[in-house]
Amino acid sequence: MSESDHQNPNPPAMPEPKTRLVGGTEHSWCKAVPCGTGITVLALLLTRPPNFSNLQTALHNLQNSHPILRSKHHFDPATGTYSFLTLPTPHLQIQPFDLPSTAPILQINPDNIAPLHQILEHEMNLNPWQNLDPSVESDTDVIYASTYAISESRWVLVLRLHTSACDRAAAVAVLKELLGELKSTGGGGAERELKGDGEVSLGIEDLIPNGKANKPFWARGVDMMGYSLNSLRLSNLEFQDASSERRSQVVKLQLSPEDTHRLLAGCKSRDIKLCGALAAAGMIAARASKQLPDHQWEKYGVVTLLDCRPILDPPLSINHLGFYHSAIMNTHDINGEGNTLWDLAKRCYTSFASAKNSNKHFTDMADLNFLMCKAIENPGLTPSSSMRTAFISVFEDTVIDESSEINKELGVEDYEGCASAHGVGPSIAIFDTIRDGCLNCACVYPSPLHSREQMQDLMDRMKSILVNGCKDVESES
C-alpha cells in the first residue's frame, strides 16, 4: 500500500478567525443598530422561483470576495468593545419562507401597500442585534438572507445587513455584484476561493488624509456646544405617538421621466445637486403642513451623507464594502414668505458644499458620532424623548440605475434598498435613485412617532413643490 493511500494523520489546521476592533464610526453603528437605526435591506422582486443552489453559491462567492461579509460582530463585555471577527470560510445560509409562511406577513395590510413594500418593511424591523445581554460575550452575523414566496409566480429575495459593514454605496455594489454572480452561477458555477488576505480593511478614521481631521481642542468644544444648543432649537414634524414601541416604515416619492429631467436640469443650471432640492422641498412641505402664520420662522436640521471613498488615503474603489460615509449637519431658518424651491435648494447645497470644502465631514466626524451615542444613551435629551437628531437626511449623490439585460434574464421585476431609522436619527431619511430616468425615493420614517398618513401627506406636498419647480425650469428655457 502506498503512502498516499494512508490517511494523513495530521491534516492542515483550519485558519484561525481574524479580528479587528471597530473604528469610531463603526462603533456608533454598533450602538445604533440595536435600538433600530442602521438595518440595511435590499429586496428584489423575482418572477422566477429562486434556484437555492445557485443562490447559495452566489452569496458564498460574495462572502469569499469581501471578508467583511463573512464577519461577525464580537462584543467583549469586559472592555465594552466590538470587533469584526472574520471567519475563514463563508457561512451564510438562506432562510426560505413558502406561501403559508409568508401569508401572515402580507395578511395585515390596512394601508394597501404592495407585497415587495411589505416585505421590505418587515425585514427592516427584524433585529438580531437587539436585546443582547451586555454582560455576556456574543457573536452576531453582519448579513442575513431570506426568500419569500408571495404568490404562485412572484418571490422576494432579501439581504439584511448591519450598516457598519454596508453603507449605501456598498449596498449598491452588493446588488450589482450579486446579480453578476447569479448570472455566472446560472449554469451551476462553483464557489470561488477567498480573495486577498482575509482581513477586514481599515475603518474610515484610519484612512482620513493626513491633517484633514485636525481640529484644535477649543474649537472642538465650541462646535460640540453649538451642535447641542442648536438641537434644542430645531423644529420637528408633529409627533403622533412618542411613547409606543417604534418600527421603520417607508413611503415613496416618484416623479415621471419628464419631471425628473426638468428637475435635474434645474439643479444643473444652478450648479447644485439633487440633494439640495430634496432637502428644500422637504422643509417647505414640513412647514406648510403646520399651517403657521407666514411671518413665523422655523429652524430645520438637514443631515447630508457623503461617500468618502474617493477622497481617502489611499482612495477606495466603489466596490469596497464597509461604512465609509460621513455626515455634515446644517440648519436652515425658513418662514412662509418668499421661500421658493430653488432659492432654498441653492442655500441648502451651498451650505453643505462650504462645510465640505472646510473638511467638516472629517473634522466633525468624532463629534457627531459622540452626540449620536449620547442621544442613544439619553433619549430624554431629545424632544419628547423622540431620539430625533434632525428633520431630514439626504445623500450628496444620487444612485443612477438603468435596467439591464441581466435583470431581465434573472427575472428581477423590481427592487428596493434602504435602511431603518426608528432608533436615533431624522424624522425622514431619503434614499434616492434615478431609475430608467425616473426619480424614485424610498423615504424611511419612525412609526408611530409619525403616521403613514402624515408622511404620505408630506410626500404629496414635496412632489407638488418639486413638480411646480420643474415648471419654473421649463419657463426659463
Query: Strand, helix or coil at 69?
Result: helix
Each residue's pLDDT tens digit, 415-448: 999 999 999 999 999 999 999 999 999 999 999 9
Each residue's pLDDT tens digit, 95-112: 999 999 999 999 888 788
Using CA atoms, how far residue 394 sits from 203, 282, 385, 397, in Å, is: 22, 10, 23, 9
Each residue's pLDDT tens digit, 336-354: 887 899 999 999 999 999 9
* CB-based contact 147:50 (threshold 8 Å): yes
| High-pLDDT (> 70) share of the chain, % | 90
Identity at 232, one-letter amino acid code: L
Domains delineated in the chain:
14-184 (3.30.559.10), 204-476 (3.30.559.30)
Each residue's pLDDT tens digit, 255-288: 999 999 999 999 999 999 999 999 999 999 999 9
Interval 290-300 mean pLDDT: 92
In this prediction, residue 477 carries a pLDDT of 54
Query: Is the predicted pLDDT of residue 212 greater than 60, yes or no?
Result: yes
In this prediction, residue 405 carries a pLDDT of 77
Under the banding of pLDDT at 50, 70 and 90, the label for residue 8 is low
**Taking the model in full, what pTM does it have?**
0.93
Query: Strand, helix or coil at 221?
Result: helix
Under the banding of pLDDT at 50, 70 and 90, the label for residue 357 is very high
Using CA atoms, how far residue 69 sits from 93, 140, 404, 423, in Å, is: 13, 12, 25, 24
User: What is 143-167 written as a DSSP string?
Assistant: EEEEEEE-SSS-EEEEEEEEGGG--
- Please name which of 445, 453, 442 lies closest in space to residue 426, comparing C-alpha atoms: 445
Using CA atoms, how far residue 142 sits from 30, 57, 67, 273, 408, in Å, is: 11, 18, 11, 32, 29
Name residue, grid cell 429586496.
Answer: 43
Question: For 310, phi and psi rounded to 5 degrees?
Answer: -70, -15
* Bridge partners, residue 54, by sequence: none
In this prediction, residue 307 carries a pLDDT of 98
* Between 472 and 64, the higher pLDDT residue: 64
In this prediction, residue 465 carries a pLDDT of 97
